[in-house]
Structure 1
Amino acid sequence: MDLNQSLVEANELFEAQAHIYRHVLNYTTSMSLGCALELGIPDIIHNHGKPITIQELVSKLNIPIEKTLHLQRLMRFLIHSNFFSLTKLHDQEDEGYILTTASKSWNPRMTCTVFDLLHVVADKIDTRNLKYVGGDMFSSIPSADVIFFKLKNVLHNWTDDNVLKILKRCRETIRLSGDKGKVIMIDIVLDEAQDRHEITETKMVFDVLMMVLVTGRERTKVEWEQLFLEAGFSQCKITPNFGMRSVMEVLP
């Protein structure tokens, strides 16, 4: 084996390691986005009316100056994830934060509800746009136009019967929203025909883990669609663009 081949194989190994870390720590993205939303950063940038510098953002957030670097690091990560962007200020060397298409979808007039078990949200404090509600998703789900299952593959933890119960509660909740209502999920979809071998194998590892640790399973597109149909939904769109996960939009 020559030196060049050894370097190529070593580089592939390091890239594979980075790929694994990215998936193992993928929850950090949702945590960081949740932090930005709780702080009201999209609203602040929107209301500022022009690109906002890090110093202005710190002032608007009313946080200690010594936290400036922490905020910069958070924003750097969210910029890389395409939730925000940086642009040059006119006639200045400074840069300012602006909204992207993704963060513009966070409407300042929109109210979000975090729904979880009562003990999980018991100590959370509501804000103008964000409310916390405790309860049981098998019994009822708070009224909403859109229900979003966050980046934790919620539904793959459960049996088909339990997933069907959850989806029916979702269908009941968005019924009053008419054509506007939808359910958005980010979860694993098995697709041996389209996925790379390594991706399929990782998804199957999760399937075995679900079988051993809980009562859930990973599902194919056909199996997901069957559950959506049985729960009373008429349309679904499945987009595989989150590595191992797919975005599933389900309409009444």
Structure 2
Amino acid sequence: MTSPNHDLLTSQAHVWNHLYSYINSMSLKCAIQLGIPDAIDAHGGPMPLSRLSAALSVPPAKSDALRRLMRLLVHSKFFEKVNVSDSNEDAYVLTGASRLLLRRSTLNMAPLVLVVLDRISVDPWHGMGEWLRDGRASMFETEHGSSFWEYAEGSARLDGLFNEGMASDAGCVAGVLGRDGRRVFEGVGTVVDVGGGIGATARGFAAEFPGSEWVVLDLPRVVEGLEGSEKLRFVGGDMFESIPQADAVFLKWVLHDWSDEDCVKILKNCKEAISTKGGKVILVELVVEDREEDDKATETQLFFDLTMMAVINGKERNEKEWAKLFFTAGFGNYKITPVLGLRSVIEVFP
């Protein structure tokens, strides 16, 4: 039996942890802005603190501050501290997580980190209580007076970071499905990538599945001037109006941006596009597991859900919610394959 003091102090520690947990995010952002992962990578081995400080142009008076920052980043498993036989200094090496932050990496997640933690994205959270009482669609709109998409259209910096972040994720998805999910695209000839942006996903899949042909559908301003290839072409259009005919329609992280009503409209257009025998819709989305216990995967999914709510009035969905959308749009069956970590591949059949 625990004492009342133990329960009190445990609860206090719990509040403290959540109160200061934003420091993990801000420290990660700082590491990217300073270029810490790239500096360690360029060093080619365990990098002593003094050399890291010099490489980052950190003045000697701030070297201890850098050491303390690295201590937290090591605890958060972005770097590993190692012993170097000929030095008494702390030295650091990359981990799997920090390798995803390297500029040279085809899976570079740094742009996504920077756009999510940008002041433009973070400031709306300060008005969450105000937003819950007003009539605006999203916290972003309450803070900035326009939707995220409208704001990004007028900000080349924000739009560029967002597109780079989505492009890095495309490489990850294509690589994983190329190894562990090939059956999803078996027998599929032509695929329309709806909301495919600058074509990073389609290019990745065209390389992984040479028997397929890809059409990227996005707004005219997005695809204007983009060059395709024999297996890839770009089409300007609106998924709410119509989608080109194909064997399959592919949507990666698209439907979570939209309300249930809008999703049904998009899915109905998808159904018309795959009217040929054997057609299907392929989604890459979160399927929230709704676990009540302290599960990090579920917690991260719930973070995504509130981010969608805050920024674009979108939502993440559990299986029951996904099924309702599919059947309302006129589909007859679906299959969920949890092959992408926190996300799943969902095949939807007429």
1:228 equivalent among 312, 315, 326: 326
Change (3 A) 1:251 1:195: farther
Q: Which residue of 2 aligns with 1:106?
A: 210
TM-aligned CA deviation for residue 201 of structure 1: 0.8
Secondary structure of the corresponding residue to residue 115 of structure 1:
strand
For residue 297 of structure 2, the aligned residue among 199, 203, 222 is 199
Opposite residue 165 of structure 1, the aligned amino acid is K
Query: Which whole-Å CA distance do the structure 2 matches of 1:230 and 1:19 have between them?
Result: 40
Query: Structure 1 residues 139, 123: closer, same or farther in 2, change over 3 A?
Result: same
In 2, the alpha carbon distance for the partners of 1:182 and 1:15 equals 39
| Distance in 2 between residues matched to 1:232 and 1:193, nearest whole Å | 29
Alpha-carbon distance in structure 2 between the residues aligned to 1:249 and 1:194: 27
Match of 1:170 in 2: 270
Residues 1:161 and 2:261 are matched in the alignment: yes
Q: Quote the residue 2:242 is aligned against.
A: 140
Normalising by structure 1, report the TM-score. 0.60
> Aligned equivalents of 2:169 and 2:224: distance in 1?
24
TM-aligned CA distance change 1:222 to 1:245, over 3 Å = same
Distance in 2, matches of 1:139 and 1:20, equals 41
Offset from partner CA, 1:79-98 (integer Å, 9 cap, x none): 9x749xxxxxxxxxxxxxxx
Unaligned runs of 5+ in 2: 1-72, 80-94, 101-106, 110-164, 181-205
Does the C-alpha gap of structure 1 residues 21 and 117 become closer, same or farther in structure 2, counting only changes over 3 Å? farther
* CA shift digits 1:97-154 (9 cap, x unpaired): xxxxx966330xx32101111011110123211111000000100111111113xx11
* Structure 1: gaps spanning 5 or more residues: 1-9, 35-77, 84-101
Q: Distance in 2 between matches of 1:114 and 1:223?
A: 27
User: For residues 138 and 221 of structure 1, do their structure 2 counterparts lie closer, same or farther at Cα, with a shift above 3 Å needed?
Assistant: same
Query: In 2 relative to 1, CA 219–120 (structure 1 residues): closer, same or farther, beyond 3 Å?
Result: same
Q: Which residue matches 1:92?
A: none
Higher strand share: 1
- 1:169 corresponds to which letter in structure 2? N
Following the alignment from structure 2 to structure 1, what is the Cα–Cα distance between the partners of residues 297 and 347? Answer: 22
> CA–CA distance in 2 between the matches of 1:20 and 1:202?
18
CA offsets, 1:146-195, max 9 Å, x none? Answer: 11113xx11101000001100000001111x12x2011010111003499
119 and 105 in structure 1: CA distance in 2 versus 1, 3 angstrom threshold: same
Aligned to 2:170: 30
**Residues 29 and 206 of structure 1, relative CA distance in 2, 3 Å threshold:** closer
Match of 2:348 in 1: 250
> How far has the Cα of 1:21 moved from its partner?
7.8
Q: Secondary structure at the match of 1:237?
A: strand
After superposition, the Cα gap between the structure-2 partners of 1:189 and 1:196, relative to the gap in structure 1 and judged at 3 Å, is farther
Letter in 2 for 1:30: A
Determine the C-alpha separation between the residues in 1 that align with 2:260 and 2:227.
34
Q: Distance in 1 between matches of 2:273 and 2:289?
A: 30
Asked if structure 1 preserves the Cα contact closer than 8 Å seen for 2:290 and 2:318, the reply is: no
Q: Quickly say closer, same or farther: Cα 1:20–1:182, change in 2 above 3 A.
A: farther
| Residue aligning to 1:14 | 77
Distance of 2:332 and 2:249 partners within structure 1: 16
Offset at residue 13 of structure 1 (A): 3.5
Whole-Å Cα distance in 2 between the matches of residues 195 and 155 of structure 1?
27
Q: Which has the higher contact order (CA 8 A, sep 6+)?
A: 1
TM-score, normalization by structure 2: 0.44
Q: Return closer, same or farther for 1:205/1:104 CA change in 2, 3 Å cut-off.
A: closer
Aligned equivalent of 2:62: none
Distance, in Å, in 1 between the alignment partners of 2:208 and 2:257 is: 32
**Which residue of the partner structure matches residue 285 of structure 2?**
187
- Kept in 1, the 8 Å contact 2:274–2:280? The answer is yes
Task: State, as a whole percentage, how many aligned pairs show the same letter.
Answer: 37
Say whether residues 1:126 and 2:228 are aligned partners: yes
4+ runs deviating over 6 angstroms: none
Q: Structure 1 residues 121 and 169, CA, compared in 2 at 3 Å: closer, same or farther?
A: same
